[in-house]
Chain A
Amino acid sequence: MTKRGTPWKMPLILLLVLPWLTLSCAKKVVQKEEVTAPQETPKAEMPAEVQPKPTPPPPSAIEEETLSAAERKRKEEEFRFENQDIHFDFDRYDLKPEAREILADKAFFLKKYPTVKILIEGHCDERGTNEYNLALGERRANSAKQYLINLGISEDRISTISYGEERPLDPGHNEAAWAKNRRAHFVIISR
């Protein structure tokens, strides 16, 4: 019974220890990568993710595991941040409701990681003329920037660039391609 007791108790121990571990690990991240992660309160689900592990690894290994889990989560969030564009109608730079939702999500990310600095790229489809598209792309990037500022993100964390029609995501010459190319794209330039 005593032999079985340890694995039974382990999740409980983990449940109690993990939040502290996460915090302490996060602090290590702080020193290493200048990220003030402690603002993030570890969620109750986190230990559950570790639970399925058959045998409890030694404490140092647990530490390793939690670090990469937090890091993996952040990577996932960063991936989503950089791969979810907002889209515009032809010759427009006003934000559509979907774009506002995505921007709210991005503002959440930026509040969660307050040291992150970003670049917003404004893009256009190939149909407009180059110089006008350059200005239109600028305006699109700026619409997104202004919305993030309104959501409380500091202006000095956001820079913009317009690529006009120079960097299409989809090289096609049809409405499906054009719709993809009329976008603001988000890039993390410093973590």
Chain B
Amino acid sequence: MRIRVRALILGLALGLLTSMIPGLLPETRCETVIDIFGPSIPRFPVGIFPFRTPSPSVEERTLSQEARRILTKDLTIAGFFEILDTSQALADPFREGFGRRQIDWKVLDYLGADIVVGGTLRVEPPWIRWEVRVYDQPRRRMAFGKVYRGRPQDIRLMVHRFVDELIRVYTGSPGIFQTRIAFLSKRSGNKEIYLTDPDGENVRPLTQDRTIHLSPAWSPDGEELTFISYQGAHTYLYSMDLRSGTRRILSARENLNGPASWAPDGQRLATTLSIHGNPELYLIDRRGTVLQRLTVHPGIDVSPTWSPDGRFLAFVSNRAGGPQIYLLELATGKIRRLTYEGKYNTDPDWSPRGDRIAFSAMIDGNYEICTIKPDGTEFYQLTDSPADDEAPSWSPDGRYLAFSSTRSGSSQIHIMLYNGENPQQITRLPGAQTSPVWSPWLKQVEP
């Protein structure tokens, strides 16, 4: 209780955007935890009831509807839930209240949900207070509950936090809705860097330089974003501090500077430079100083991605003719070829779980997203559309892949589960959206 009050005062005093007060409602950890990396992904039937609004205020009602909309969208994207149509319920199960004895369990039995979400939303100017409860329908008890308080414009962040917690309770690790996806958009005609929430909302430009940007890459702490930017007849590798928005040049050497990939230690980057007139891999430090040349080959070496333990790099090389994925062991400099299927395999991204590498493969004349184990076994093709599916990027928990696809006509950002299930288009923007890169876990998420 004391902690709660202190958190509340602290939140108010510091003017925090959202103060979350956990543990206000009794919480029991749900026993039905799904193994989402199992051979098939079970889906929980979920009923999300409209959040009750005590006053007739239009603002309250609008916010309540918005909370339910975002929650429904998040759970749809999450992929382990089947959203039931609660308008089919015979009555409002919470009309008497939210207590165990007040709930109309018969109504819920009829709906057939394993998980039931309900609650209230109140406007208490200048704050809103969202009380949300999750019920374990088969056991007829509350699984957990949360109260969130914040400004009306923080409603998205509140819902994302709640969903991440709901996913933690049911799958053992939190959801990814408090992360960001950076991508390249040509909506303005130039190729600028944009950010979006994983649900495709809250889209905003990070650069507005009216030039070409390529290959955004997150630092492991999520505080910096490196990218290639065209300035006149040069391409430079920049790093942007995401808090201040200031940027610095990491590499301005002749010819290619990048793409770059941050080492898990956050101190080094692997990048492509063509100092001697040929694209080779190098290790540079945070200031851009070359630490080590990694490849010596007359062909192309590009697109490095680190293994989570920092011991290996996967990269693209055409040393055998067409582009294929290779592994480089940093301690020994030993290089071995990873992909043999097909003639064109590029864009590797090593899963944060370490067990798989995702990449784009040309199959039957168009690109598909595939994964393979680092030992070269278990090649899986995750997409199969006549469109181009490119540039896979893992979520920080390794459960999802963001990628670009032309399957809806223009190139847009999509998300799917690690095994290709539950593909969801998240952006619907004018122009082409490409090269999504998923942020790591972020310490502080701006609303």
Contacts and interface: CB of A to CB of B under 8 A. Distances in A.
The answer to whether A and B interact is: yes
Interface of A: 91, 119, 128-132, 134-136, 138-139, 142, 145-146, 159-164, 166, 187, 189
Interface in B328-355: 344, 346-347
Top-9 shortest CB links A-B = A135-B302, A129-B346, A135-B279, A135-B300, A132-B346, A131-B303, A166-B212, A138-B256, A131-B259
B214 A134 contact: yes
B346 A131 contact: yes
24 contacts: A91-B318, A91-B322, A91-B323, A128-B346, A129-B346, A129-B360, A130-B214, A131-B259, A131-B302, A131-B303, A131-B347, A132-B303, A134-B259, A135-B300, A138-B255, A138-B256, A139-B279, A145-B277, A159-B233, A159-B254, A162-B255, A162-B256, A163-B230, A166-B214
B140 interface: no
Given A166-B212, A189-B233, A129 B256 contact: no
Contacts of A91: 318, 322-323, 344
Interface string B289-314: 00000000000111100000000000
B215 interface: yes
Given A91-B344, A128-B346, A129-B367, A138 B323 contact: no
Contacts of A159: 233, 254
Contacts of B239: none
A163 to B, nearest CB: 8
B196 interface: no
Given A160-B255, A166-B212, A132 B233 contact: no
Nearest to B302: A135
Contacts of B255: 138, 142, 160-162
A77 to B, nearest CB: 22
B386 to A, nearest CB: 13
Interface in B262-283: 272, 274, 277-279
Given A132-B316, A142-B278, 5 more contacts: A134-B228, A138-B256, A160-B255, A163-B230, A189-B233
A171 to B, nearest CB: 12
B191 A166 contact: yes
Contacts of A162: 235, 255-256
B199 interface: no
A116 to B, nearest CB: 15
A159 B228 CA distance: 18
A187 B255 CA distance: 16
Interface residues of B, number: 35
B215 A130 contact: yes
B435 interface: yes
A189 B367 CA distance: 37
Contacts of A128: 323, 344, 346
B212 A130 contact: no
Nearest to B304: A131
Given A131-B215, A132-B300, A161 B346 contact: no
A130 B435 contact: yes
Contacts of B272: 135
A164 B214 contact: yes
A44 to B, nearest CB: 40
Interface of B: 191, 212, 214-215, 228, 230, 233-235, 254-256, 259, 272, 274, 277-279, 300-303, 316, 318, 322-323, 344, 346-347, 360, 367, 390-391, 434-435
Contacts of B235: 161-162
B302 A130 contact: no
Contacts of B346: 128-129, 131-132
A7 B344 CA distance: 71
B318 A142 contact: no
Nearest to B256: A138
A156 B228 CA distance: 24
Nearest to A126: B388
A138 to B, nearest CB: 5
B274 A138 contact: yes
B62 to A, nearest CB: 41
A59 B191 CA distance: 56
Nearest to B318: A91
Contacts of A166: 191, 212, 214
A130 B403 CA distance: 13
Contact of A146 (B191, B233, B277, B390): B277
A129 to B, nearest CB: 4
Given A138-B279, A166-B191, A189-B233, A131 B214 contact: yes
Contacts of A134: 214-215, 228, 256, 259, 302
B52 to A, nearest CB: 49
A36 to B, nearest CB: 25
B391 A130 contact: yes
Contact of A142 (B274, B344, B390): B274
A55 to B, nearest CB: 48
B347 to A, nearest CB: 5
A33 to B, nearest CB: 22
Contacts of A135: 256, 272, 279, 300-302
A118 B259 CA distance: 25
Nearest to B235: A161
A110 to B, nearest CB: 18
Contacts of B390: 129-130
A127 to B, nearest CB: 8
B320 to A, nearest CB: 12
Contacts of B318: 91
A134 B259 CA distance: 9
A164 B302 CA distance: 13
A163 B213 CA distance: 11
